[in-house]
């Protein structure tokens, strides 16, 4: 196991009815900005529940944060924060709203063009406004981590930044708030969480037994309960397990002391920036093919994954590995997320632009050992054509 330094300060309020508690957590004298997306929280009553919990405070609102949030939209929120002297941000929504709120929290206190946060990998971020979260879509883990992914529409670029200053102070995880998710977002969320675990688990052995078994437990829960959420959207226990699993998949815990990959995500972000695919769709395309391309480097962990997640324990080792990758693809498809470029109307001719973007962004040595070069990325995309 590698050395590590782990501190996660986000307080989690989990369960039905917990939205009321934010009334106790947001300071009573705060000037609060509630940030949200395209309107799902207004349609399903979450907005009203949040406003009731904030009663008595000065509250402003900023709606319209789009999936894959853009600097173009978020700059307007930064202007509003400055104009109204907002001092607390409450994100109500999925990963896009939370990520956007993190960008606003840091950008509002920065004396420079906020896009420089992405260009400088947040090295210029010294402070951020405090953030609270009400999560409505289990997927990204953003509610309990320090990362955000922001898009600049004008240049078709999508980059991540990580800063300890943007950990939410608290996050409310009420599973009943996820009952209204469309099937597409349920599938996306399960696939995204699954791939977050894989990026931290499917590398090379590090003798990290707890991290491995914890990761396998999260994967098994997603495989078991993901399809159930599609079949029975209002099953509380299923929603509760998926919600906590997605948070634990990317709150730093399973990534402690182990090598991490993240090449599937990096390639996926270029696919979204260029072609507008949902984040999880890009992951479902890249991951299985990447595992085939890198099966030699990941052999030991692939065999462990085959045995412990898919119960493939006997027979030829190469056949077990192929079967485990095949089961992974079948699972993504069962969640309604296609695993081929052609599922989204893209052909081989879509690949060169992705490779060119990776090169332009300096992403030429990705993965846990840096061996995911542009050639490896190209092979993974061609394998998914
Ligand atoms: O905008 P509204 O109307 O709210 O609708 C949203 C949106 O259209 C809808 N939705 C959310 N909760 C709902 C609901 N509809 C009905 N009922 C509910 N309860 O779902 C749609 C998608 O929302 P979005 O927030 O975009 O999805 P997700 O949570 O998957 O977030 C994706 C973004 O997070 C980034 C991705 O790149 C992408 O930009 N990621 C952030 C990470 C992080 N911060 O650590 C890590 C991830 O790997 C990921 O890259
Ligand atoms: Zn992701």
Q: Are residues 188 and 135 in the same domain?
A: no
3-class DSSP assignment, residue 14: strand
Q: Are residues 224 and 373 in the same domain?
A: yes
Other beta carbons less than 10 A from residue 254's beta carbon: 26
- Look over the chain and give the mean of its residue pLDDT values, rounded to a whole number: 98
What pTM, to 2 d.p., does this model score?
A: 0.98
Q: Mean pLDDT throughout 355-375? A: 97
Question: Ligand 1 mean position to 188 CA, how many Å?
Answer: 9
Q: Is 151 in the pocket of ligand 1 (CB under 6 A)?
A: no
Q: Mean pLDDT throughout 8-33? A: 97
Exposure class string for 14-30: b at 16+ Cβ within 10 A, else e = eeeebbeebeeebeeeb
Which pLDDT band holds residue 297 (cuts at 50, 70, 90)?
A: very high
Q: Are residues 190 and 166 in the same domain?
A: no
DSSP letter for each residue of 111-137: SS-TTHHHHTTTTT------EEEEE-S
- Report the percentage of the chain scoring pLDDT > 90: 100
Q: Are residues 142 and 77 in the same domain?
A: yes
Strand partners, 35: 62, 91
5, part of any domain? no
Question: Ligand 1 mean position to 280 CA, how many Å?
Answer: 10
The torsion angle over the Cα atoms of residues 185, 179, 169 and 241, rounded to 10 degrees, is -90
Which pLDDT band holds residue 370 (cuts at 50, 70, 90)?
A: very high
DSSP letter for each residue of 215-274: HHHHHHHHHHHHHHHHH-TT-HHHHHHHHHHHHHHTSSSTTTTS----HHHHHHHHHHHH
Nearest ligand for residue 247 CA: 1
Q: Are residues 140 and 19 in the same domain?
A: yes
Question: Ligand 1 mean position to 349 CA, how many Å?
Answer: 28
Alpha-carbon span 22 to 11, nearest angstrom: 11
From atom 26 of ligand 1, which residue's Cα is the shortest distance away?
Answer: 67
Q: Are residues 173 and 190 in the same domain?
A: no
Q: Mean pLDDT throughout 14-33? A: 97
ipTM over 0.95: yes
pLDDT digits (tens, 9 = 90+) for 301-315: 999 999 999 999 999
Nearest ligand for residue 269 CA: 1
Q: Are residues 191 and 166 in the same domain?
A: no
CATH label of the domain that carries residue 221: 1.20.1090.10
Domain around 101: 11-177
Q: Is 190 in the pocket of ligand 1 (CB under 6 A)?
A: no
Question: Ligand 2 mean position to 226 CA, how many Å?
Answer: 16
Number of domains in the chain: 2
Alpha-carbon span 331 to 140, nearest angstrom: 19
Question: Ligand 2 mean position to 59 CA, how many Å?
Answer: 31
- For ion ligand 2, residues whose CB falls within 5 Å: 192
Q: Are residues 123 and 152 in the same domain?
A: yes
65, part of any domain? yes
Q: Are residues 192 and 103 in the same domain?
A: no
Residue with tokens 């600097």: 71
Q: Mean pLDDT throughout 97-125? A: 98
2, part of any domain? no
Mutation test of ligand 1: which of 70, 137, 142, 280 has the most ligand atoms closer than 8 Å to its C-beta?
A: 137
Strand partners, 70: 151
Atom number in ligand 1 closest to CA 179: 19
Q: Are residues 244 and 343 in the same domain?
A: yes
Q: Are residues 195 and 314 in the same domain?
A: yes
Question: Ligand 1 mean position to 281 CA, how many Å?
Answer: 13
CA–CA distances in Å: residue 182 to residues 113, 136, 172, 229, 234? 36, 12, 21, 11, 12
Q: Is 137 in the pocket of ligand 1 (CB under 6 A)?
A: yes
Q: Residue 103 is encoded by which pair of tokens?
A: 């960008």
pLDDT digits (tens, 9 = 90+) for 158-172: 999 999 999 999 999
Q: Are residues 165 and 190 in the same domain?
A: no
- The pLDDT of residue 216 is 98
Q: Is 136 in the pocket of ligand 1 (CB under 6 A)?
A: yes
85: exposed, middle or buried (Cβ count in 10 Å: 0-12, 13-18, 19+): exposed
1, part of any domain? no
């Amino acid at each position: 196991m590698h050395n590590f330094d782990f501190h996660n300060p986000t307080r989690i309020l989990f369960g039905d009815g917990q939205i009321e508690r934010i009334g106790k957590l947001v300071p009573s004298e705060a000037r609060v900005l509630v940030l949200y997306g395209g309107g799902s929280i207004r349609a399903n009553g979450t907005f009203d529940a949040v406003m009731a919990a904030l009663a008595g405070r000065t509250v402003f609102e900023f709606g319209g944060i789009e999936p894959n949030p853009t600097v173009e939209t978020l700059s307007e929120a930064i202007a509003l924060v400055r104009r109204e002297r907002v001092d607390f941000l409450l994100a109500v929504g999925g990963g896009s709203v939370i990520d956007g709120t993190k960008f606003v929290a840091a950008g509002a206190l920065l004396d420079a063009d906020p896009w420089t946060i992405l260009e400088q990998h947040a090295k210029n971020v010294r402070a951020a406004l405090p953030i609270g979260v009400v999560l409505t879509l289990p997927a990204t883990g953003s509610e309990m981590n320090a990362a955000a992914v922001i898009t600049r529409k004008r240049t078709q670029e999508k980059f991540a930044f990580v800063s300890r200053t943007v950990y939410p102070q608290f996050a409310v995880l009420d599973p009943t708030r996820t009952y209204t998710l469309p099937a597409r977002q349920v599938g996306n969320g399960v696939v995204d969480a699954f791939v977050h675990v894989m990026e931290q688990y499917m590398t090379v052995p590090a003798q990290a037994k707890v991290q491995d078994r914890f990761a396998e437990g999260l994967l098994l829960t997603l495989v078991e309960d993901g399809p159930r959420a599609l079949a029975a959207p209002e099953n509380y226990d299923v929603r509760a397990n998926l919600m906590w699993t997605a948070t634990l998949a990317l709150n730093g815990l399973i990534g402690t002391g182990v090598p991490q990959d993240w090449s599937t995500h990096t390639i996926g972000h270029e696919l979204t920036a260029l072609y507008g695919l949902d984040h999880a769709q890009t992951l479902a395309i890249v991951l299985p093919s990447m595992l085939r391309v890198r099966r030699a480097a990941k052999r030991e962990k692939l065999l462990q994954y085959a045995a412990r997640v898919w119960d493939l324990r006997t027979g030829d080792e190469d056949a077990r590995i192929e079967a485990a990758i095949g089961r992974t693809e079948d699972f993504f498809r069962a969640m309604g997320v296609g695993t081929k470029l052609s599922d989204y109307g893209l052909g081989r001719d879509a690949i060169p632009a992705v490779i060119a973007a990776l090169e332009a962004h300096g992403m030429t040595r990705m993965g846990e050992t840096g061996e995911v070069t542009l050639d490896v990325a190209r092979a993974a995309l061609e394998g998914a054509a």
